[in-house]
Structure 1
C-alpha cells in the first residue's frame, strides 16, 4: 500500500511540475513492451522470471523481473527493434528477436517456456508484428525512416512523404491540409519538441530524411495529450547513436542537361550521418548534416507558375544528438537542431541586381530527461530554447535604422516602380526582418497500472518576437513602355509612404491533459479498449482557452478484425501574426477593389483584438481487417464541424477602399471516406494504397480570403485522391521504389466579360464561386537503386525520375478563358551515390 501511495504522489508531482514551469502538450515519443511468462505445457504463469530487454536504441540492457503472476511491462522505450531474453530455473532460456516498438504504442509479447531436457539449448524465435493494432482508436499511420529515405521524395523533406497517406493534401505552395482543414492547422513535433513556426503556423524547421527513425501521422481522433492544432499531428522521432561506429555519405545531382528539357533545373545535394559510442554503454552520439543547393528557372511561355516556385535555394541543415545513460534509471538526451536557408525567389525573370534575398536561420537546443521510478512508472521532462531569424531585402537597401518610419526616396535613381515591372526597372519593393526567441518546457508522466495506461502532463511555449515589415509603394503604369509617373499617385503615396508593420511582444500558449488507455479484455473478458481523456488549452495573446473532451473505443472480436470510434474537440492556436496585431495598427498595401483596368485603390489591414480560437468538433468510425497474413484493409468515415474560423472582413463602406480586419465569422465542414490497404514487407515487397473521397465547404473559400456569403467549395476541396507507394527488392541487389499520385482538379471561379452601357467599357464578372474544376493531376515518381557490398561496406548508386511519364499537370488556370495557362515541371532525372560504413 505504501508503494501505491508513492506512485500516486509521483504522478501528481509530475503534473504539478509541468503546471509550475508551464509550456503546449507533449506528444508520446516512446513506447511500451508488455508481456506474460507462462509454462508452454500447462499455461500456468511463471512468477518472478528474469527479463532482459536489449536493442540498438538502448545504451545498456534493462534487467528486471516479472511479477508474481508472471507479468512484466517496461515503459519509456525509444522506437526501434528490441530483443527479450527470459530465464527461469528449470526451463530453457528463450530469446525473442525483432520486437518492434513504436511511439505511443504498447507491444504485446507472449513468452512460453519449455521445461529443460538434457542437452537442449536455448530457444530463439523471431517476433511478428501484428497488422491490427488493438489499442488505437483514431486514424494513425507510422512510417519507418528507411521507407521514407528510399522513397522518391522531392527536396528530401520528410513532410513530402505525407502524400502517400489518405486524407492528406500537399498543395501547390507545399502547404499541408488534412481532412479539409486549412494550412497552419497541422502540428509538427520532433523528438517531443514543438517544431511549428510560432508566427505563421507552418513547420519551423526541417529534419534530414536520413535522420528519421519513425514518423507518426495522425489525421484524426488523437488523444488528449495532443493539442493546439485541430487538423492533425506529425510526430517525428530521430535516430540515436549506437555502441558501434556507423555512418554514410551521400551526394545527389541534377542538371538540365541530364533531363533533356528546356527549362533550367540544377541541384547539388551532399550530406552525411555518423553515429557511435563516446563511452561504452554510457554515452553515444548521432550527427546528420545535409546541404541543398538548387536553382529552378522556367520559360514563361509554358511555365509562368509552377508547383515549387522558380528561383534559387540554398539550405544547410542538420542535428547533433547525444544520449547519456547517467544511471540505470536516469537518461539524458542533448540535441541541437539547425537550419540556414538563403533563397532568391523570381530569379528567372527579375534582374539579379534588383531582386531581393531572403535569409532564414533556425537554431534550437533541447534537453530531455527520462527518470524510471519502476518499469511501470516513467517521468519525462523536456526543456528547450531556440532562435529563429529571418531577413528579406534587396542588397542595396537597409531600412532598419530609419525613424520614425518616414523614409527618403530609396528606390533607384530615375526608375519608377510599376505593376509587375519593377523586376526590370527597379528594386523589388520589400524589406522584412524577424527575430523570434522560443522557450519550451514539458513534463509528462506515464503510469502502467494493471489494465490501465495513465498519462498526464503539460507543455508551454514562450515566444519573444521582434519584427518589422516594409513594402515600398510603386506606381501604376498603363503600359510597359510608359514610365511617366502619375502626379496624383505621387501625391497619394507621398502621404502614405509605404506599407509598414513594426512589432515587439512576448506571449505564451500551452495545455494540460490527463488521459487513460483502459483494456477491458483481461478483467471483464471484453475485447475492448477505451481511450478517454480531458485537455485544457490556452493562448495568452487573445486570452483564449478551451476544455476539450476526447473519447475513443476499439472492439476486436478476433485477432484479425477491429472496429473503432473516436470523438473529440480540438483547439487551434491562432497564428501570432494575427493574434498580436493591435486594432489601432494599420498596414497599407496596393490593390484594386474595382475590376476595371487602370483604376487605383488602396488596401488597409487593421489589427483585431478579442479573437476567439477556432474549434473543431469531429468524429470518425472505421473497420480494419487482416485480409491476408501480411495485408490489412481499413475503411474510415469522418466528419468535422469547424467553428469560429478567422476571415478577412472588409469593414470600410467606401466601395473604392478595402479595409480588412480579421474576424471570427468563418465556418466550415468536411466529411469523407478513406480506404487504406497496407502490405507489410514479405517476399521482397511492401506497399501502401490509399484512396480518399472528400467534400469540404465553408463560408470563406481560402485560408484568409474574402467571405462568400454562403457555403462554397473550399480552394483545397479535392473530391478524389489516390496514392500508391511500394518498395521492391529485385535480383542482383537492385531495389525499386515508386510513388504514384492522382487527384481530381482544384475548384476555381470562372469569369466572363460584360460591357458597361454607360462607360462602354468591359467589366469582369464572376460565375458562382469555386463551381468550376481544373483538370486532374497525375504523377509517378520512381527510384532505382543498385547496391554493391564489400565486407561491412555498402555502395549504392541510384537514379530518380520525377514525373516519369512527363504528364502535363496544370499549375494555373486562365479563369476568363477557362483553360490552363501554366503547367508544373515535366520529367526530370536525378542521380545519386551513397557510401555506408
Structure 2
C-alpha cells in the first residue's frame, strides 16, 4: 500500500489542487445528487491539468512559453522583440538577442528537433511571425535532449492546418509619415481532401527605411500598376507545412524560405553633389565637394550613399518529421536540410567588378580647407564577401513512460555541414597585407543522449548525459600555420531535482554542462602572408566552448490565473572563441610572414550571475499580463570573437588581463506586457525599463593599452513603451479590424551606443575610437572626429541614438 501511495503522489497533488480550488468545492449528498456531484468533480480535474502545466512541477529547466494569442496581440514587430519581454533576455540594437549574458549565436533555434542556425557563425534565420503557433525559450538546467547552444534552446512550433479552411491577412503602415514602414502578412490553412492531409501557408514582408537618413537613389519597379522598391531594411519570409489534419504530430513536411536585403546608412558615405579628386593643379588640398554643379571640368556628380555596400541574405530549409506511439513507447524521427547564401557587395550581387584600385574610396585630408578626413569623396566600398553554407541533420529519438510522470529517453543524430567563403578587402592595397581569404570546407558531426525522469514520493529526478562529436574536417589541412586537433568528443552531464512542495508550489535545482562547437568561419583560412587585425586568422585547432550552469527556481500558483516564479542562476563559460596574438612558425616553401599576427583561439572565459522574478496572469481568450524583473551581471575576457574593435591594424593587440562587463551587460531590467480583448476590439501594452549598457572610454588619438578601462562607463537608463489597439468593425460583410500602433510611446530619446565601426576609414573609429574619446572629453554624444586644424568636428551620427516615436495604422481580416 505504501508503494501505491508514493507512486501516485503527484497525481494526488493535482487532485488536491482541484479540491482546494474555491469553485471546485463539492459535498457528498445522501441521494442521487451525489452522482451528479461526482461527475462535476471529474470535469473539474480536466481544468486542473492546465493548472498543473502552469506549475510545471516535473521539470528542473526554465521554460518560457509564448502562445499564439500572446504573439498575435503583443505590440511587437517580430520574434526578437517578443523575446525581449522575457526575463533574462537583453535586446541590443532592436534585433540582437542575448539570453542570460550569452553572445549572439549561442542560442540554438530548433524546429521539429532540427537546428536552424547556419554553420558559419550560428546566426538564426528569419521566420514569418504569422506562422508561429507557440515559441518556447528553454534555459537553465537543460535536459539531455537539448544541446548545441550555450544560452539554451528556442523551440519553434508552427501552426498546422485544421478541419476547415481558415485564413488571416494584415497590413500595417505608417502611411509614409515616419520611417516608411510597411508590413504585410497572411496565413491560410485547411484540408486538401487527399489522404487526410492539410496544408498551412504563411508569408510575411517587412520593409522599413528605419529612423536613419535614406540617402540612396530610389530604385523603383512597376508591377501591375504599382511601384515597388527596396528600402533600408527589407525582410521577406514564408513557411509551408503539410501534415495530417487529425494528428499533425504524426508526420509533417515543412519548408522555410526567407530573404533579407540590408542597405545600411553610414555618415562617411553621405556626400551628395559634385566632387573632384583635385580642385586645382597642385592637388595639395586633396579632394573637394560642392552641393551645387561646378562647371570647371574637374568636378563630377557623386552620390556617396550609392557607393556603400549592400548585404543580401537568402535561406531555404526543408524539414520532415514523423512520430509514432505504441503502448508506453513513442518513436520520432526528423530529417532536415538548410542552406544559406549571404553576399556583401556594392549592389548585393556576386559581381566583383567594382574592386579595382581606381575605385578605392578617397577620403579628405586633415588641415585642409576643401576636404575632411571623415567623408568619402570618390570611390566605392572596397569590400566583398560571399558566404555559402548548408547543414544536413538526421535525428531519431525513443521515449518510454516508466511511471506516472516518469520516463526514459534516448536519441541519436548525425550532421554534415558545408561552409564556403570568398572575402576580399582592398583597404590592404599597397600595404603588403593579404587581401583575399577563401575556404571551402565540409565536415560531419554526431551526437547522442540518454535521459531519465524518476518520480519518487515528493522528489522528481531529471538526469541524463549528452555526447557530441566535432571535427573541423579535411579542409583544416590547407590552413597555413594552424595544425588541426582532429575530432573531439565532448560529454555533457545533466542533473535536475524538482520538489513539489504543495499543490501550488514547486522548487527545483538544476545543473547542466553545455557544449557548443565553434562556427566554421573561425576555423579555416587561406592567407599565408601578413594580415591586419580586422579579420584574425582561422584556426582549425579550436575546441568546443563550454558553459556550466547552475539554477535554483521556485514556482508558485497564486490562484486560478496568477502565477509567480523566482530563479537564481549562475553560468560559468570557458573556451569561447577569442582573438589572440601568436607568432607564426614559417613552413618550408611559404613566404616569410610577420613575427606576430592575430588568430582565433579558444581562450575567452566569462560568467553570468542573475536573479529573475516574474509574475503572469492568464485568462485564455480574454487577457494576459506578464511582469518581470531581472538583476544580472555578465563579465568576460572579451565581448566579441574578433578582438578589440578599435586598435591600430598593424600593431599586436594586447591580451585581456582580467574579466570586465560585456557589451550587453544590463544589471537591472524591468519588463511589462499586457493584452486585453473584448467583443469589439483589443488593447495591448509593453514596457521595457533597463539600466544603461557599458561603454569604453578612450583618449584622443591614443593607442589604448590599459584594458582595465574596457566597459568602465555606463550609459543612462533607457525606457521604451509600445501600444497597440484593435477595433472590430461591426456590421461589416467580412470580418474587418482596424488598428493603431505606437512605438516608443513617450518618445524617449538618448544614446543607445557610444562607438561604431569606422571601416573603411583606416584611422577614424578604426585605429582610434574617436566617438568614445569625444564623449569622454566633452560629455556629449552624437559622435565626432578629431581634426588637427579644427579640433572636434561633430557628426551627429543618428546610429548612436534611440529611434524616435512612430505611429502606424493597420487593417486586417480573417475568415
Length-normalised TM-score, structure 1: 0.73
Correspondence list, 1:650-689, <5 A: 650-651=581-582, 659-681=597-619, 684-689=622-627
* Distance change (3 Å), C-alpha of 1:213 and 1:540: same
Cα distance in 2 for residues equivalent to 1:717 and 1:281: 53
Could you tell me how far 1:279 is from its partner in structure 2? 2.0
| 1:781 and 2:722 matched | yes
| 1:434 and 2:387 matched | yes
Find 1:510's aligned residue among 437, 440, 446. Answer: 446
Partner of 1:609: 540
Find 1:768's aligned residue among 698, 709, 717. Answer: 709
Cα distance in 2 for residues equivalent to 1:236 and 1:372: 22
SS in structure 2 of the partner of residue 567 of structure 1: strand
* Distance change (3 Å), C-alpha of 1:125 and 1:764: closer
Could you tell me how far 1:805 is from its partner in structure 2? 0.1
Partner of 1:472: 426
SS in structure 1 of the partner of residue 58 of structure 2: coil
CA contact (8 A) 1:718 1:745 kept: yes
Correspondence list, 1:208-219, <5 A: 208-219=128-139
CA contact (8 A) 1:312 1:347 kept: no
CA contact (8 A) 1:751 1:815 kept: yes
* Distance change (3 Å), C-alpha of 1:408 and 1:749: closer
| 1:645 and 2:568 matched | no
| 1:830 and 2:783 matched | no
Partner of 2:766: none
Partner of 2:64: 141
Partner of 2:204: 290
SS in structure 2 of the partner of residue 577 of structure 1: helix
| 1:636 and 2:535 matched | no
Cα distance in 2 for residues equivalent to 1:682 and 1:322: 28
CA contact (8 A) 1:587 1:604 kept: no
| 1:556 and 2:512 matched | no
Correspondence list, 1:17-96, <5 A: none
Correspondence list, 1:309-320, <5 A: 312-320=232-240
Correspondence list, 1:404-423, <5 A: 409=356, 411-412=358-359, 416=362, 423=376
Cα distance in 1 for residues equivalent to 2:348 and 2:639: 39
Partner of 2:696: 749
Partner of 2:106: 185
| 1:580 and 2:524 matched | yes
SS in structure 2 of the partner of residue 161 of structure 1: helix
Partner of 2:463: 532
| 1:736 and 2:659 matched | no
* Distance change (3 Å), C-alpha of 1:504 and 1:622: same
Q: Which has the larger share of strand?
A: 1
More deviation, 346-355/532-541: 346-355
Cα distance in 2 for residues equivalent to 1:340 and 1:563: 44
* Distance change (3 Å), C-alpha of 1:471 and 1:391: same
CA contact (8 A) 2:630 2:669 kept: yes
SS in structure 2 of the partner of residue 651 of structure 1: strand
* Distance change (3 Å), C-alpha of 1:443 and 1:802: same
Find 2:345's aligned residue among 393, 407, 417. Answer: 393
Partner of 2:416: 462
SS in structure 1 of the partner of residue 81 of structure 2: helix
Cα distance in 1 for residues equivalent to 2:710 and 2:732: 64
Could you tell me how far 1:506 is from its partner in structure 2? 0.7
Partner of 1:252: 172
CA contact (8 A) 1:329 1:372 kept: no
Could you tell me how far 1:423 is from its partner in structure 2? 4.9
Find 1:223's aligned residue among 107, 127, 143. Answer: 143
Partner of 1:200: 121
SS in structure 2 of the partner of residue 628 of structure 1: coil
Cα distance in 2 for residues equivalent to 1:633 and 1:383: 38
Find 2:264's aligned residue among 345, 364, 368. Answer: 345
Partner of 1:500: 436
Cα distance in 2 for residues equivalent to 1:621 and 1:335: 37
CA contact (8 A) 1:39 1:112 kept: no
* Distance change (3 Å), C-alpha of 1:682 and 1:504: closer
Deviations 1:622-671 (A, max 9, x none): 21122233211211111111111221112369xx9972111222211111
SS in structure 1 of the partner of residue 50 of structure 2: coil
Cα distance in 1 for residues equivalent to 2:621 and 2:196: 39
* Distance change (3 Å), C-alpha of 1:694 and 1:704: farther
Partner of 1:547: 491
CA contact (8 A) 2:260 2:313 kept: yes
Find 1:721's aligned residue among 663, 669, 674. Answer: 669
Find 2:378's aligned residue among 425, 435, 440. Answer: 425
Could you tell me how far 1:247 is from its partner in structure 2? 0.2
Deviations 1:542-592 (A, max 9, x none): 52321111011111121101111001111012111013347x656844x6x
Cα distance in 2 for residues equivalent to 1:674 and 1:764: 36
Partner of 2:772: 815
Could you tell me how far 1:282 is from its partner in structure 2? 1.2
CA contact (8 A) 2:80 2:95 kept: no
Partner of 1:169: 90
SS in structure 2 of the partner of residue 815 of structure 1: helix
Deviations 1:751-774 (A, max 9, x none): 345xxxxxxx97778672222111
Across the two proteins, how many residue pairs are aligned to each other?
663
* Distance change (3 Å), C-alpha of 1:177 and 1:835: same
Length-normalised TM-score, structure 2: 0.75
Deviations 1:471-519 (A, max 9, x none): 2227xxxxxxxxxxxxxxx7x34x44x6221111111333210111222
CA contact (8 A) 2:251 2:322 kept: yes
Cα RMSD, aligned residues only? 3.7
Partner of 2:186: 272
* Distance change (3 Å), C-alpha of 1:585 and 1:149: farther
* Distance change (3 Å), C-alpha of 1:635 and 1:540: same
More deviation, 465-474/158-167: 465-474
* Distance change (3 Å), C-alpha of 1:585 and 1:166: farther
More deviation, 693-702/418-427: 418-427
| 1:626 and 2:557 matched | yes
Deviations 1:264-292 (A, max 9, x none): x1122222111000127711110001122
CA contact (8 A) 1:297 1:347 kept: no
Deviations 1:650-696 (A, max 9, x none): 2369xx99721112222111111111111111794321111111112
Partner of 1:306: none
CA contact (8 A) 1:548 1:569 kept: yes
CA contact (8 A) 1:243 1:281 kept: no
Cα distance in 2 for residues equivalent to 1:689 and 1:441: 39
* Distance change (3 Å), C-alpha of 1:408 and 1:723: closer
Partner of 1:31: none
SS in structure 1 of the partner of residue 189 of structure 2: strand
| 1:569 and 2:492 matched | no
